[in-house]
Amino acid sequence: MSTSSSKKFKNPRPIYHQTGQKCSISGVGSYVPEKILTNSDLEKIVDTTDEWILSRTGISERRIAADDEYASDMATVAAKRAMEDAGVTADDIELIIVATITPDMPFPSTACLVQRNLGALRAAAFDVEAACSGFIYALEIGQQFIMSHTYETVLVIGAEKLSTIVDWTDRNTCVLFGDGAGAAILRSNGGTHGLLTACMGADGNKSELLSMPGGGSRNPATIQTVNDRLHFLRMDGREVFKNAVNAMFSASRTVLERCELDISEIKCVIPHQANQRIISAVGERLGVSSEQLFTNVEKYGNTSAASVAIALDEAAKNGNIERSDLILLLVFGAGLTWAAAVIEW
């Protein structure tokens, strides 16, 4: 097994401690739409080929939500599956956090719509907008409420319907994105370490590298903004790639050092599923072995805030991780934003 350095840590478990009540992930769930959009399908839409997409992204297909299927609907299904996995009911949930950049509407929050769908009438609810980094941002926020003894049970969801903001005439971006949702139940649990630490970061000076200019107070919807295609995602792929690799590597090293862990002690590394080239570059810099790395980008493409949430659920359900295993999550997204987290499963 390759490692990023020759240093070996002797601690059987991390010594990094946080004050307050410990928080663990007690259940996970995910949902992806039925419709599959393959690379061959995209060949009929834009000037591209299956070989071109695969060689540059590692993506073979992605899921596309139905016209009447919204972010809140996908989030609700993922949430119910996570609740079943954790053995909790709607009455147990005290807070709902939804990470999304494709909410059903600007307001009310998608979290409030999920609360209604679940019948979780005791729960406070709000959204987090940190793009592809949103799920880890939401995990860390949820953990703080549990550590402070404010809540005992928190539902965290990443949900996206990116197909509604993708420019299907732009072959460089439309091949990358898909729809889906993933969820986790956070609970106070003194018997396990749970979420050991998280590192979050942002650089607003590079916000233009990945954005959707239209639809907000700066460029509200007009005939002109629609004609200028401002309501679609825009990305500088080359610069995003470079920044993503550097930021995810740096954030990962930070959380590993906090826990006094070597990468070889991590059972499963789950990076943001954006592009296989980015995943491979980060993995190589960290010294991650192929056995440690979990990917599903080939099936779903980039589902933004739902990406690592879906992957975490699949890794758990497929037996890639078991109780007491150490997991490294790492993400990067528009903002620019990034984050990493170490979890003892």
What residues act catalytically? 132, 272, 302
Tell me how many degrees the CA angle 197-295-203 measures, rounded to the nearest 5. 50
Length of the chain: 345
Which neighbouring-strand residues pair with 62?
A: 37
Inter-CA distances, 145 with 96, 119, 186, 266, 271, Å: 11, 21, 10, 27, 25
**CA gap 258, 15 in Å, rounded:** 8
